[in-house]
Amino acid sequence: MNHEISSAHLSVDRVEEILNRHYTLSLSDDARARIVRCREYLDRKMETRKEPIYGVTTGFGSLCNISVEPDQLAQLQKNLMMSHACGTGERVPNEIVRLMLLFKIQSLSYGHSGVQLCTVERLADFFNADILPVVYQQGSLGASGDLAPLAHLCLPLLGLGEVEYEGKVVPAAEMLEAKGWSPIQLQSKEGLALLNGTQFMSAYGVWSLIRARRLSRAADRIGAVSLEAFDGRVEPFDPAVHEVRAHNGQIETACVFRELLKGSELIARPKTHVQDPYSFRCIPQVHGASKDTIAYAESVLTTEINSATDNPTIIPDEDKVISAGNFHGQPIALVMDFLAIAVAELGNISERRIYQLIAGERGLPKFLVAKPGLNSGFMIPQYTAASIVSQTKGLCWPASCDSIPSSQGQEDHVSMGSNAATKLYRVVCNTERVLAIELFNAAQALDFRRPLRSSEVLESLVAEYRKRVPFIDTDEVMYPHISASVEFVRGLWAC
């Protein structure tokens, strides 16, 4: 299947579809025309304009006042690409690199960047042939665009750097030779157009957003199993409660839980306890607040991936080449820090439910085994969850509140959005693991409630889970079950 890059709105749902269904990319006729028109306009502008054009006829950053001779402009752009490839640390996961390619192509397609058509087409060739440049996580300040990671992303256009191709990491020059492709010969402005932009931040942000949406749904279902296993009360999910504090996410969460619990024998039976701990009673308020934050993050990130974010901005219709700051990551840096907190809270409250389930309350055995003492049971999975949650809390310190000047003070305020993005990614992965441990505990606890039954939908969920993770009768090695639980939750996300 094919996705045509055009000026049409690119939604997060569409991005998810492109990745999951392995779409190829092509440029619409309109996008091709916009790219060519902008390139031709820039060429004409350079012939007639006497004043320097930042990044086109000058150096970069604090070198902006140094003009470059016309016969050196192509070398200027190549030098930029090579000198800025200073990434280090862990490799960026392949699925994030795919998003970087998609978003860079989308941004360049608007015809405000001055690139050659062949440059954008080659990026699409990389995406379609699953040729994934080797990019590193550390090196971007998230301000003059994601300079270092985007340099690594685009070096292979020139036959430099490395790519993962047919399952192996190989020099880009070797890949080009194997494909019969010539290296792209950059023209003026092109290196800057490729390196400026927020595609590294945006790729991490959108990947995490897609997972956060699924994780929110999974948290509701797993939380409902825990509620049943803990013999919780249904009253906190009554619509009348939420009508008087009408936050959208809170209302939605309560509604979801009422549907999940419909027909349950456990929830309907008389209770001897008057109320539940907050980790159960306040699920609509906590899960709901995360839902609202996820929705807000989606609105901001959607704007970002439908934008031209390099510099200078070229406006052929108005005969303008404007050096400005669309590459600055502040709009998404703030929201990614916010999203990290929202996702972390799903794990934070989940760990508290785990603790309640193993506490030996409400007729459940201590640590969820029939013979505690001889058996430690589910004592240590809670330790693991607590450790992960503690690490996640540290990762939630906002990166966007920091700024370190660079480029001899010319770039004196930066967003640190790349750090916000990579921390967000880790928070999402951590929360996935905590929820998997909660389901491990909740399913075990639910089996101690037999022969009473939960709702059809929750019983079906637990039955599927039991195909992969067994009831634990006596102590055994637990980490394979936690690993299987994580894989199950990943599958549950897509439901």
Return d(Cα 384, Cα 438) in angstroms, integer. 11
Sign, Cα dihedral of 71, 116, 169, 419: positive
54 catalytic per annotation: yes
One DSSP character per residue, 122-177 reads HHHHHHHTT-EE--EEE---SBSBSHHHHHHHHGGGGT-SEEEETTEEEEHHHHHH
Q: Which residue of the set 41, 54, 204, 425 is catalytic?
A: 54
Write down the residue that tokens 């300079």 correspond to.
147
Classify residue 21 as exposed, middle or buried by CB count within 10 Å of its CB (0-12, 13-18, 19+): exposed
Domains and CATH numbers, the chain: 2-197 (1.10.275.10), 204-493 (1.20.200.10)
Cβ(53)–Cβ(42) under 8 Å?
no
* 48-56: long-range contacts, CB 8 A cutoff, minimum separation 24: 53/312, 53/321, 53/323, 54/311, 54/312, 54/323, 55/189, 55/192, 55/311, 55/312, 55/323, 56/114, 56/188, 56/189, 56/192, 56/312, 56/321
Q: For residue range 163-214, list pLDDT tens digits in order.
A: 999 999 999 999 999 999 999 999 888 988 999 999 999 999 999 999 999 9
The whole-number pLDDT of residue 493 equals 60
One DSSP character per residue, 273-295 reads SS---HHHHTHHHHHHHHHHHHH
Residue 6: strand, helix, or coil: coil
C-alpha triplet 33, 121, 71: angle, nearest 5°: 85
Strand duo 313-315 + 168-171: pairing? unpaired
Return d(Cα 325, Cα 175) in angstroms, integer. 35
The whole-number pLDDT of residue 119 equals 97
Cβ(38)–Cβ(315) under 8 Å?
no
Strand duo 313-315 + 320-322: pairing? antiparallel
pTM of the model: 0.95
Q: For residue range 448-457, list pLDDT tens digits in order.
A: 999 999 999 9
Q: For residue range 293-330, list pLDDT tens digits in order.
A: 999 999 999 999 999 999 889 999 999 988 888 999 99
DSSP 321: E
Residues of the chain with pLDDT under 50: 495
Q: Where are the beta strands (DSSP E) in 38-105?
A: 88-91
Structure tokens at 134: 């080797």
Q: For residue range 360-394, list pLDDT tens digits in order.
A: 999 999 999 988 889 999 999 999 999 999 999 99
Cβ(39)–Cβ(117) under 8 Å?
yes
Residue 21: strand, helix, or coil: coil
The whole-number pLDDT of residue 495 equals 45
Structure tokens at 383: 């330790």
